[in-house]
Amino acid sequence: MPISREYARALFADLTQNAPVSLNPAELLDMPRLRQHGHVFFGDIAVRCYKHKARWTYDERDIRAAGRTFADMEVDLDDVVDVQLPAYRDIPERDPEEWHRPN
């Protein structure tokens, strides 16, 4: 069933209020990015937006499924990995524009 963007935001916020990962449900209202591809992305979950009677709407089932996915997510803090990043080195002999060129 099609629902308004405002109701979709409120529903998603209610479903994910106790989720271990904080989310910004206001992304469901952000139209500039939405018009480009018709989806809102929360991590790797895409929620499709539809044009219904000249208004952008969401399918309530999609919002509920995405909300349940995040609400059911479990975070185990014992599964943390220590990452050692290489030390910063300033390379003065190279031009800074060359640093971003792909090989």
Is 67 a member of any domain? yes
Q: What is the pLDDT of residues 14-34, one digit of tens each?
A: 998 888 887 888 877 776 666
Q: Is residue 90 part of a domain?
A: no
The residue assigned the tokens 């080195």 is: 89
Dihedral angle at the C-alpha atoms of 94, 97, 100, 103, nearest 10 degrees?
A: -70
Number of domains present in the structure of the chain: 1
Say if 84 falls within a structural domain. Answer: no
Establish if 34 belongs to a structural domain: yes
Domain that holds residue 17: 2-71
Q: Is residue 95 part of a domain?
A: no
Q: Which residue has the tokens 């060129």?
A: 101
Which pLDDT value is given to residue 11?
A: 92
Contacts 24+ apart (CB under 8 A), 71-76: 71/15, 71/16, 71/18, 71/19, 73/19, 73/20, 73/21, 74/20, 75/20, 75/21
Does a structural domain hold residue 97?
no
What confidence tens digit (pLDDT) does each residue in 80-103 have? Answer: 788 888 877 666 566 556 555 555
